[in-house]
């Protein structure tokens, strides 16, 4: 298995930006632009990693601190393709050209994504982040771009720089390729004693994505109402009698239904 980290950096977001993938100190590559976003850097790092390893048969484990990248590749992209690269609300998918190139690069590949918390001392993630940021700084200052050695013969023998143990916060379940089952998007329910009523509402299936999302997969699924099979997702939330009474009172005061009021809060 090839173990690598991929990361992006943008000064100002958007601004001078860089991307980097990292396997070891003698096996990494980086690049960037005078003006781009952090998400473009994150996506390009993954794209260039798949391109650099296209000639190999080993499974690729990509350590990544961006939920946007992981969700885009493993959860959202198949549905976007079916909809002509449009989101559930009909709006065009952002960064679509990069996503199309990634879609081509991963075809037939064996790969997994593993979320790691950014800026938390994870050795490989920090190495990729430092190199991506160095490129962004170089574009800002007009100095030479540190592009790295790229893939070399030494790379194939490396298992990555994971010898330095990652902190416990980064030891989360990995996100895998398209064949895996996406985590459940069911909202948490209140288990307070006396829960007597429930309000059911419909929420938009695909939220806007933050430019850099450092949440763990478990936390992220609380907010990513993302259903590849439908444009809407029905969710049930259990409320105590007091909670339901307050919800109804506030909805009436706002001149709307409890469901609409609750959707607005979400």
Helix, strand and coil in the chain, % to nearest 5: 35, 25, 40
* 213 classed as catalytic: no
- Percent of the chain at pLDDT > 90 equals 55
Place of tokens 């000064």: 11
Average pLDDT over residues 166-194: 33
What count of Cα atoms within 13 Å lies in the side-chain half-sphere of residue 32? 38
Contact between 95 and 45 under an 8 Å Cβ cutoff? The reply is no
* 214 classed as catalytic: no
Single out the catalytic residue among 48, 65, 206, 226: 65
The answer to whether residue 251 scores a pLDDT higher than 90 is no
Average pLDDT over residues 120-146: 97
Sorting pLDDT into bands at 50, 70 and 90, what band is 231? very low
pLDDT reported for residue 175: 40
Single out the catalytic residue among 8, 18, 31, 148: 8
Contact between 131 and 10 under an 8 Å Cβ cutoff? The reply is no
Whole-structure pTM over 0.85, yes or no?
no
| Whole-angstrom distance, CA of residue 106 vs CA of residue 76 | 15
**How far is residue 171 CA from its own chain's centroid?**
16
Domain boundaries, the chain: 2-176, 195-265
* 42 classed as catalytic: yes
Q: Which residue has the higher pLDDT, 239 or 173?
A: 239
Contact between 19 and 132 under an 8 Å Cβ cutoff? The reply is yes
The answer to whether residue 173 scores a pLDDT higher than 50 is no
Single out the catalytic residue among 7, 114, 227, 243: 7
Using one digit for the tens of pLDDT, what is the confidence trace for 52-73?
Answer: 999 999 999 999 999 999 999 9
Q: Residue 14: is the preceding peptide bond cis (ω within 30°)?
A: yes
The answer to whether residue 46 scores a pLDDT higher than 60 is yes
Single out the catalytic residue among 48, 114, 126, 129: 129
What count of Cα atoms within 13 Å lies in the side-chain half-sphere of residue 263? 16
- Percent of the chain at pLDDT > 70 equals 66
| Whole-angstrom distance, CA of residue 163 vs CA of residue 167 | 12
Of 14, 27, 19, 136, whose CA–CA distance to 66 is shortest? 19
* 35 classed as catalytic: no
Number of residues written out for the chain: 266
Sorting pLDDT into bands at 50, 70 and 90, what band is 236? low
Sorting pLDDT into bands at 50, 70 and 90, what band is 35? very high
The answer to whether residue 215 scores a pLDDT higher than 50 is no
pLDDT reported for residue 241: 82
pLDDT reported for residue 257: 77
pLDDT reported for residue 157: 54
Q: Which residue has the higher pLDDT, 247 or 196?
A: 247
Report whether CATH 3.40.190.10 matches the domain 2-176.
no
Single out the catalytic residue among 42, 48, 114, 213: 42
Using one digit for the tens of pLDDT, what is the confidence trace for 70-127?
Answer: 999 999 999 999 999 999 899 999 999 999 999 999 999 999 999 999 888 899 999 9
Sorting pLDDT into bands at 50, 70 and 90, what band is 152? confident
> Which one of 66-80, 184-198, 249-263 scores highest in mean pLDDT?
66-80
Single out the catalytic residue among 35, 97, 119, 150: 119
| Whole-angstrom distance, CA of residue 101 vs CA of residue 116 | 24
Q: Which two tokens stand for residue 60?
A: 């690729």
Q: At what angle do helices 96-105 and 38-52 cross, to 10 degrees?
A: 20
pLDDT reported for residue 42: 98
H helices of the chain, in order, are 38-52, 67-71, 77-82, 96-105, 123-141, 153-156, 217-220, 241-254, 258-265
H helices of 76-208, in order, are 77-82, 96-105, 123-141, 153-156
The answer to whether residue 21 scores a pLDDT higher than 70 is yes
Q: Which residue has the higher pLDDT, 189 or 211?
A: 211
Q: Which residue has the higher pLDDT, 249 or 46?
A: 46
| Whole-angstrom distance, CA of residue 169 vs CA of residue 117 | 7
């Amino acid at each position: 298995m090839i173990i690598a980290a991929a990361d992006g950096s943008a000064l100002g977001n958007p601004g001078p930006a860089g991307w980097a993938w990292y396997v070891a100190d003698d096996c990494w590559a980086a690049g960037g632009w005078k003006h781009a976003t952090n998400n473009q850097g994150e996506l390009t790092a993954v794209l260039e990693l798949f391109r650099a390893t296209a000639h190999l048969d080993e499974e690729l484990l990509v350590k990544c601190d961006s939920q946007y990248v992981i969700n885009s590749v493993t959860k959202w992209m198949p549905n976007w393709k079916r909809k002509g690269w449009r989101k559930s609300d009909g709006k065009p998918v952002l960064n679509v050209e990069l996503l199309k190139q990634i879609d081509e690069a991963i075809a037939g590949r064996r790969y997994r994504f593993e979320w790691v918390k950014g800026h938390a001392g994870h050795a490989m993630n920090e190495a990729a982040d430092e190199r991506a940021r160095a490129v962004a700084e170089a574009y800002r200052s007009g100095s030479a771009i540190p592009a790295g050695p790229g893939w070399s013969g030494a790379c194939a023998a490396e298992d990555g720089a994971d010898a330095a143990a990652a902190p416990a916060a980064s030891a989360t379940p990995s996100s895998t390729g398209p064949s895996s089952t996406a985590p459940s998007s069911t909202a948490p329910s209140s288990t307070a004693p006396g829960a007597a009523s429930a309000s059911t509402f419909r929420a938009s299936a695909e939220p806007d994505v933050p430019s850099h999302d450092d949440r763990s997969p478990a936390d992220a699924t609380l907010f990513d109402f993302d259903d590849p099979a439908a444009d809407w997702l029905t969710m049930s939330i259990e409320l105590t009698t007091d909670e339901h009474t307050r919800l109804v009172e506030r909805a009436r005061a706002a001149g709307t239904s409890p469901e609409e009021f609750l959707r607005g809060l979400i």
